[in-house]
Structures are given as C-alpha cells and as structure tokens.
Structure 1
C-alpha cells in the first residue's frame, strides 16, 4: 500500500513536469515560438513519437563498442 502511494505520488509529479519541460525544450532549443506561438506545443508530441519510433526500430546495441568504434574484445590503439 505504501509502495502504491509512493508510485502514484511520483507519477502525479512527473507527468506534468515532463510534459511542461518537453514543451519548453522544444520552444527554446528549436526557437519555434519565433515562427508561431502555438507551434511548440504542437511540435513536441511529434518529436517524442518520432524519437520513440527511431528507438524502437534501432534498439540497443548487442555488443558494446570501444573508444575507436570496433566491437572486438581486445583493446586497440586509435590511429
């Protein structure tokens, strides 16, 4: 019961914070409010969906990459 209450309070705080911060991020990063004042709230869901689709298609890498970009187990010196 306590865990459920803690999760619900956390969600109650995080959902409005994430939505507001995503709109502000799109507003300031892309300066879309200079074009039209309604564009940032309309563009942020599109950006979120596009990034979700890209992550779902690409997915995480199965093997970690080294600093030089090779996936071999032994470390090589970068040129």
Structure 2
C-alpha cells in the first residue's frame, strides 16, 4: 500500500507518509500492523523518521525505483 505509493511516485522523496492513525483509518488495519508497516519501510531504507514530525520518503527510494525491475 504505502510501498506501492512510494514506488509509483504518489509519495515523492521528502514527502510525509501517513501516520499510524491515518493508516488505521484509511486501510482498516490495527495500530500494531500500522507500526509494523512504518518500521518495515524504515528498515528497507524507503523512509526516515523525524522525531515529533513523522516519517518521510527518502531520496534513496527514488533511486531504488529507477533501477531495473522497477
């Protein structure tokens, strides 16, 4: 869901991704699942967190999306 939006450019680099609250409301998932989604994106290097501000798409995610098989 969020990963796809990053890959297709819906969420370009430096764009804030939805919060846990927004993810639970939009996709009807549990808070724990939303936390796992955001953690996985961060671990994959697709997002970074600014304390107190939220999670944002990294520049690296743009480069990763430009490679073969993207």
Superposition TM-score, scaled by structure 1 size:
0.31
The structure, 1 or 2, with the larger RCO (C-alpha pairs under 8 Å, 6+ apart) is 2
The structure with the greater share of residues assigned to helix is 1
